[in-house]
Amino acid sequence: MSLLLGVNIDHVATLRQARYALNPDAIIVEPSVLEAAWEAKAGGADSITIHVREDRRHMQDADAWEIRREIDLPLNLEMANTREMRNFACELNPDFVCIVPESREEITTEGGLNVTGHLESLRETISIVQAAGIKVSLFIDPEPDQIRASAQLGAEMIELHTGAFALSNGEEHLAELKRLQSGAELGNSLGLQVNAGHGIHLKNLNEVFTVKHLKELNVGHTLVSKAIFIGFREAVQEMRSAMDQYPGPNE
């Protein structure tokens, strides 16, 4: 079973905003997130992931609409569990939403969503978004209570947060990998599609392959980083080729 590759292009917008946040109407505004999405598709991406944050620090509403209109790949919208973003999702009508935690202090998403602590608000958001025909994923740490709560709320998918695994080493690293393995087993047993993302790159990919039942990896930062040196399409192709070696759940 080949893993699906969701390419997150948020950091292309981060680079653009570093220069053009205060001057979006300049004659040339670069790099183009739309061009990044095209290059991701050409490199073998199975879907495009964008995170429109409430503070609009990188992706803008116009970016989301342009990508939705121009790119014929499934669109995964990462979003906070708020009324504003719920309404935006229903208008944009992406193929999927992934509900993530947000903090103004963080540079990028750090840690998983506290599903057990926000059951009622999440239940409302999930029901409204699903009624619009959009599938829902919850970005969570690989904790049994969070996984069970996600299934109880009726989400179709979970995305296991791999950040703690990616940033650790030694015994802690092995423990985090085991948590991912157990979390994926539990999620699959509960009928959830199990995805994973955050901090995944070519050097830790073989360890990720030991996590059974994965359907999709969402990868972003490493691809934008590699693109500086080899090009975005080539970076996606390289990841796509490596992911094709995933052994699947039964090997």
Angle at 163 between CA 248 and CA 96, to 5 degrees: 65
Of residues 11, 58, 78, 161, which has the active-site annotation? 78
| CA dihedral over 32, 33, 36, 41, signed as positive or negative | negative
Q: Is 78 a catalytic residue?
A: yes
Q: How far apart are CA 127 and CA 221, in angstroms?
A: 31
Q: Is 161 a catalytic residue?
A: no
- Eight-class DSSP state of 57: S
Of residues 11, 58, 161, 198, which has the active-site annotation? 198
Q: Is 51 a catalytic residue?
A: yes
What 3-state DSSP class applies to 210? coil
Pairing relation of β-strands 4-8 and 96-99?
Answer: unpaired
Of residues 11, 39, 51, 161, which has the active-site annotation? 51
Max Cα-Cα span within the chain: 54
In b/e form, how buried is each residue of 173-189, taking b as 16+ CB within 10 angstroms? beebbebbeebbbbbbe
Known catalytic residues are: 51, 78, 198
